Amino acid sequence: MITVLFGLGAALGLCVVMAGLLDLRIPKIVLPSKRIRLKPVVIAVGVGLVVWLVTGWPVGGIAAAAGAYAGPKLLHSAGARVVVARREALAEWIQRLAGLLTAGAGGIEDAIARSARTAPAVLAEHITTLAFRTRSMGTEQALRRFADDLADVEVDAVVASLILRVRDGGAGLVEVLQARAVTLRQQVQAQLALEAERQRPRTQMVIIMGVIAVTVLALMAGSQLLDSYSSLSGQLWLALVVALWAAAFAWAYLLTRPDRSARFLVDNRAGGR
């Protein structure tokens, strides 16, 4: 029992360190009308229990559970795909907005309201909310709230151009929006190429983990070389080994994670804008 408790403590500490490095958070339990994110937790717990029962190693079970939960985030950059999809939709929207302004939509407020009817799916909810807010709180404040909701430096650039037009009027907004749309599409293509390059080390990490798993299974089935890990000292050494591997994979994740550009359309003064 003492061996198990020490092993559990060492493995739990390892999981806490790994979760901190990967910025993992406890999944939220929400109302049935929204997506419940308990499935990854259930799968991870199941994997951990199976590994624990097969090997008899509490550290191995907890490490397997942590890996099953953190693996998808570590090996697949969902955040990059979201940013790419959002910026591609942003380029499409401002292109439509420029077209409406060219056709004489009657001003930015009217153009935003009309663009909400055919907004790209990725931004449809945000643009519909923007159109509603322009009528209820004013165009500039609505645009700033739109930028805050999306929290993207490229959205800040578009919103800043629209705010300048609302404040000062004048011509040239259509050309600015069209040029920004072209720039965004070029950035999307560059980001896709960059993500393809970043996927290579992630694929190599999957191969390494597969080789390790097969090697461990083969040794457990065909020899007694791993029997020493069943003792207290063996579990502590196993925790150290797993910690080193976890640190290496966490470091690789941080190196291949997309950079986040700092926003500029913010106001940190007390009382808001």
Q: Is the pTM of this model over 0.85?
A: no
Residue 122 shares a structural domain with residue 138: yes
Residue 215 located in a structural domain: no
Residue 153 located in a structural domain: yes
pLDDT above 90 (res 195): no
Please give the average per-residue pLDDT across 115-129, as a whole number: 91
pLDDT above 90 (res 128): yes
pLDDT above 60 (res 9): no
Residue 92 shares a structural domain with residue 176: yes
Reference 118, options 80, 86, 147, 89; nearest CA is 89
Residue 70 shares a structural domain with residue 85: no
pLDDT band with cut points at 50, 70 and 90 for residue 127: very high
Between the alpha carbon of residue 228 and those of residues 135, 224, 246, the distances in Å are 71, 8, 22
pLDDT single digits (tens) 70-93: 777 776 666 677 888 888 999 999
Residue 195 located in a structural domain: no
Q: Which domain, by its residues, includes 35?
A: 2-75+224-256
Residue 184 shares a structural domain with residue 88: yes
Residue 183 shares a structural domain with residue 250: no
Angle at 67 between CA 204 and CA 13, to 5 degrees: 125
- Separation CA 185–CA 195 (nearest Å): 15
pLDDT single digits (tens) 237-271: 888 988 888 888 788 777 767 666 677 777 654 44
Residue 152's pLDDT is 86
Residue 64 shares a structural domain with residue 153: no
Residue 28's pLDDT is 41
Structure-token pair, residue 29: 């339990």
Residue 207 located in a structural domain: no
State CA 246 to chain mean position distance.
Answer: 19
Residue 3's pLDDT is 53
Residue 250 located in a structural domain: yes
pLDDT single digits (tens) 159-179: 988 898 888 776 788 888 899
pLDDT above 80 (res 143): yes
Q: What percent of the chain has pLDDT over 90?
A: 15
Residue 21 located in a structural domain: yes
- pLDDT, mean over the chain: 79
Residue 24 located in a structural domain: yes
- Separation CA 70–CA 73 (nearest Å): 6
- Separation CA 25–CA 27 (nearest Å): 6
pLDDT above 90 (res 130): yes
Reference 68, options 93, 53, 83, 47; nearest CA is 47
Residue 211 located in a structural domain: no
- Indicate the number of domains in the chain: 2
Residue 181 shares a structural domain with residue 237: no
pLDDT above 80 (res 144): yes
pLDDT band with cut points at 50, 70 and 90 for residue 197: confident
Residue 87 shares a structural domain with residue 161: yes
Residue 19's pLDDT is 54
- Separation CA 255–CA 164 (nearest Å): 38
Residue 14's pLDDT is 57
